[in-house]
Structure 1
Amino acid sequence: MAPATDSPENNPPSLRLGWTRRVSLTWRILAVNVFAIAMLGGGLLYLDSYREQIIQERLEQEQQSIWLLAHALQSLDRGGREAMVKAVSDRYDSRIRLYNRAGGLVLDSFALAPPTYRLRDPSEEPWQRHAARLLDQGFDWLVDAQRVDRFAERRPDRMRQWPEAAEAARTGAATARMRYAPDRTPMITAAIALPRGDGVLLTSYNARDITRIVRAERFNLSMIVLATALVSILFSLFLARTIVRPLRRLASAAVRVRLGRAREVVVPRLPSRGDEIGLLARSLSDMSMALRQKIDATEAFAADVSHELKNPLASLRSALEGLGSVKDEGLRAQLFEIACSDVRRLDRLITDISEASRVDAQLTRTRFEPIDLGEMIENLLDLRRSRGLNHGRETAFARPRRGVAVVMGEGTRLERVISNLLDNAISFSPPGGLVRIEATQLRGRVLVRVIDEGPGVEPSEREAIFRRFHSARPEGEEFGQHSGLGLAIARTIVEGHHGTITVADRDDGAPGAVFEICLPAKDQQELPISPA
């Protein structure tokens, strides 16, 4: 098992999670959506305030009604009172009682006509009503509703048995109260003293419509909440599926890449997705392929290094063994020169191998700066002439005006590219030949061309010459003078600067090769110029 890839607290504060860090993304999506539905469902609790508002309005309305009824009865005789009580009771489905000053019942609408309402016995009702009452009690408990007294008819029916009637007799003002009937529906009662103190008037009625309204609204809102919750959960599961499932597949592929048990791990690219998940999938796929290419290149490089080092080592060992057994001084001197040549070749190989193995990694950590390639090439050519590195070949440079050939890069590395191309061009050019260099800007790209007068490069070899340890060298050159890494290092550096390097024939048809470097101009950089 490969070691864990988590690193301790290396993510920025904006990406850190608190207690939710161990919660699955699916549950987070569900929780967010269900929380919103729960907030909507909280509206069910506010139906209690709606009910209280209706009850308060009914109490005020009943106080006004009983005040009007009391003043209307004051001017009537007993027969008129009975007729009015009967008519009002039948019209408003209420029970009207009149008590004398002593508190005795002298007039009852239920005695004059059939009762306008009947208190229902809960034991005789179906189970649906019991369930409804349990729900009512549950919501009252949730909102911590104020406790309401139970309504019951008084036996014997006297004024002092009704607290509101006793209060009305004492204060002379209309009072009203709400109680629960046995089936938990509101009972509204109101009392008022008659204007000349002839007694107290008491009215009561069963406001079942309030319960029906509240339950109907609660049912409608519950259906809305339930339907919304169902749709929200389905959409949440769909969203979680479209996000979590591909993320899990990508994570699984990343784990297989990390474990390295399969040579080719297929990371799903999700080409049909244009969102961030698709972008992540394609980025991970490209990253895994680039990683595999780097691993393959590293393995191939290691094999090539082993092969390239074995040849000079074998030659050196043979020369050293010969020195121990050969007595001829001339032959010994020849063997000694071979050994020295092999040592120089090994030194050159090791230096170039070290450079080739480090250049790619170092470029990813280098902060690029503006580099004027025209000025850099001009200084490099002057230095080569002063040191006699052109070996009898001439160099010519069409210096562009300042600011034309400016790129973002690392000066030392770009100078190494030009130097390697010049070495290659000079080695293939005939004595007294001319190597020309051009630098210009075209459509936001800086082009640098190195043109020699050598034999040129066959089309079939134009890709192979950039491979490491490529062995094609000019005729007559002493074996081992070059490591075969110069052009490979040049390509690595150019690609590390987001550019390209190619080789072609000369435009004028003359013998020779044209190496062309294409780099983004300074004001056209689209990619980051330094690592984040």
Structure 2
Amino acid sequence: MSASASGERVAVRRARLRVAVLTGAIITLLVTVVGGIADTVMTRAQSDQVWRELRYGAARGDLTSPPVCTWLFARGATPLANAPAGFPVESDMRRVHRTHESVERTVRRDDTQYLVRTQVRADGKVVQAVFDLRFQLADRRHLWFALGVAEVVGLLAAAATGVVLGRLAVSPLAEALTRQRRFVTDASHELRTPVTQVYTRAQLLARQAAAQNMPAPHRDGLTRLVGSVGRLGEVLDDLLLSASLAAGPARPADHRPVDLVALARAVVAEEADRVRDGRLTVVVDGPRHPLFVDGVESALRRAVGELLSNAVGHTPPGGRVEVALARARGTVTLTVANTGKGFDPAEAERLFERFHRGGSTGRYGLGLALLREVVTHHGGTVTATGRPGHGARFTIRLPVGGSPSVSVPPPGGRTPRLAPRRVKAGRT
């Protein structure tokens, strides 16, 4: 699977997950808010009611027959047999007796809470009323348990709703991406033939113009036309290759052992004219024995050609390009380094974005983005390092492949050779 297709699928999954998470978060927030409001209202209502009853009991309650869950204590009065231990609170009794000011407090004891009010009655007697909040606390626990159950049910409902909503909401996006890839493939296929015909016709016209010694402006215009149509064809090739990679993994029959050393040397040979015109030095540093990787030869040739063309295009006259190949720890490494302009290290990752415009190159294109797609499609990685004025280095790492099986030579004893294809310059 290509990097772009994988990225699209990841984006769709993330969008669906985001919808589910947001739905769950909203339901959780609603349940929490409702629970908090209910708990606050219940707690305040219970507290107000209990304090009213407690104050009434402390002021007028019968010491021998207090209300339910309430106990009354006074000097000289015998407390009820079921009175909780530790009461009355003697410090409050003495304080009220001394100051004649009422005292209220909350006491935690025996896994429950007690509200305590101590005051002086109209007859001058100091009375302490104690109320047990056991049942009120149980009601609050039951409320939060019910809210917890509601939360779990809500989350399950949110998960189911989120999945449904995610699919309904994101399906148009996934369908749009699929249609986009299909359109790119169909359009590229439909345009490839007429573009090829135009390219061929432009070449013929350019040769005829040169043979007939037509005016220089005409010849230059035809030469530029040939170059423009050629670049258009290369863009179409890029789109077709990208679309084929986005369609999914290649069939096993499409993969075969490819000698990366021989492929690199062949690509360097294809760039011989540009190297000579640019007065460059290109060095291939690799072992004499083959380094095989499993993959599609045409796609790998395009990737290596993109790196070399990129290096040649950004190396000034008299510069040097080095192509190094090696094997280490189950991977085959191909590095292309040049003595060109280099680039800002902060742009290293952005170089592989489609149509990225680098600050030093000012070029748009698919080259390096397609390169990463090809390498990722083959289970490898590609990295870029460089500094302004100190050149650039691109490194491809691919898993080591198996050796090719012995095949019968074609008639005539010669191995067919792929027609050389000019690879367009990319960008650093």
- State the TM bucket, normalised to the shorter chain: 0.3 to 0.5
Which is bigger in relative contact order (C-alpha 8 A, separation at least 6)?
A: 2
Query: Is the radius of gyration larger for structure 1 or structure 2?
Result: 1
